[in-house]
Amino acid sequence: MLREHLMGRGLRNLSVLKAMRDVPRHLFVPEAMRNLAYEDCPLPIGFGQSISQPFIVACMSILLDLRPGMKVLEVGTGSGYQAAILASMGARVYSIERIPELHKAAAERFRRMGTESAAINLFLGDGTFGLPDYAPFDRILVTAGGPDIPEPLVMQMADPGIMVIPVGNERNRQRIVRVFYQNGKYSARASRSVSFVELLGEHGWHTDRTHPTF
Ligand code: SAM
């Protein structure tokens, strides 16, 4: 995966490559698909959701420009793989998921793996509100695509801070947007096109066509 799909496509960020080498992706995919764990494709994790493609996980992690010790909010825990990558890079991760079954499965997975609870804190709820009790965050990573940048997340950025979020006005087509906050001023830059599952919630898309829980 590292040689062919990441370095082979020009990715050179050593701390991201090291994390992608060290975190066993096969432990985050359903058992029946473990033979595909190191292919460069998203895989279904149930409830209409997916674990993202390794190349995209690496790109998002690079765009965060992370340093050890930083406090990171992830919206969309899913399998927990991206959270594990960020923790492996030395971040203190706060990750929120809206689907109870995925939240529970990720918590159980980290428990079995012996992941330190100080490194990854998992929450259940609508992540478009962020986690105001734990803000501000040095970095915010949203791993689902919404129609806009949720205002509560903008308010929870540290100064200086960076947010990486897929945004698009079609439900399954977005551009990755990087929001910078420095000296009290915001700026934003869009980069590659991506296709993430929907960011559902108060400050995301409003109707859930796949899961009735929230
Ligand atoms: N980061 C995940 C991983 O490494 O497996 C992949 C995330 S998956 C592409 C997107 C996740 O975002 C799904 O699990 C979905 O339920 C979740 N999600 C969508 N809207 C959400 C919201 N408002 N709050 C929290 N999680 C949300």
CA nearest to 205, candidates 161, 166, 163: 166
pLDDT, mean over the chain? 94
pTM reported for the whole predicted model: 0.95
CA nearest to 140, candidates 60, 50, 56: 60
The reported pLDDT for the residue numbered 212 is: 43
The mean per-residue pLDDT over the stretch 172-179 comes to: 96
- Distance from residue 183's CA to the centre of ligand 1 (Å): 31
The reported pLDDT for the residue numbered 207 is: 74
The reported pLDDT for the residue numbered 115 is: 82
Q: Is the dihedral of CA 153, 159, 163, 169 positive or negative?
A: positive
CA distances from 26 to 33, 48, 61, 83, 93 (A): 8, 19, 19, 15, 21
Distinct helix (H) and strand (E) counts, the chain = 5, 9
User: What are the residues facing 51 on neighbouring strands?
Assistant: 43
Rounded to 5 degrees, φ, ψ at 10 are 95, 5
For the segment 15-30, what is each residue's pLDDT rounded down to a tens digit? Answer: 999 999 999 999 999 9
Residue 166, H or E segment = strand 157-170
User: Can you tell me the distance from the alpha carbon of 176 to that of 195, in angstroms, rounded to the nearest whole number?
Assistant: 10
- Distance from residue 201's CA to the centre of ligand 1 (Å): 11
The mean per-residue pLDDT over the stretch 121-132 comes to: 98
* 57, 123, 143: residue to mutate for ligand 1 pocket, most atoms within 8 A of CB: 143
* 53, 60, 200, 214: residue to mutate for ligand 1 pocket, most atoms within 8 A of CB: 200
Residue 209 has pLDDT above 80, yes or no: no
Residue 117 has pLDDT above 90, yes or no: no
The reported pLDDT for the residue numbered 210 is: 53
CA distances from 202 to 45, 91, 98, 120, 147 (A): 24, 27, 12, 25, 11
CA nearest to 179, candidates 144, 138, 135, 147: 138
Q: Regarding predicted confidence, which is higher, 212 or 50?
A: 50
Atom of ligand 1 nearest to the CA of 96: 25
The mean per-residue pLDDT over the stretch 37-50 comes to: 96
Percent of the chain's residues with pLDDT above 90? 89
The mean per-residue pLDDT over the stretch 106-127 comes to: 92
For the segment 127-143, what is each residue's pLDDT rounded down to a tens digit? Answer: 999 999 999 999 999 99
Look up 52 and say whether it is catalytic: yes
Most confident of the following: 5-9, 115-119, 126-130: 126-130
Residue 110, H or E segment = helix 100-113
Angle between helices 14-22 and 54-64 (to 10 degrees): 140
The mean per-residue pLDDT over the stretch 175-187 comes to: 98
The reported pLDDT for the residue numbered 49 is: 96
CA nearest to 85, candidates 26, 30, 20: 20
The reported pLDDT for the residue numbered 116 is: 75
Pair 56, 78: CB distance under 8 Å:
no
The mean per-residue pLDDT over the stretch 69-85 comes to: 98
Residue 214 has pLDDT above 70, yes or no: no
211 pLDDT band, cuts 50/70/90, is very low
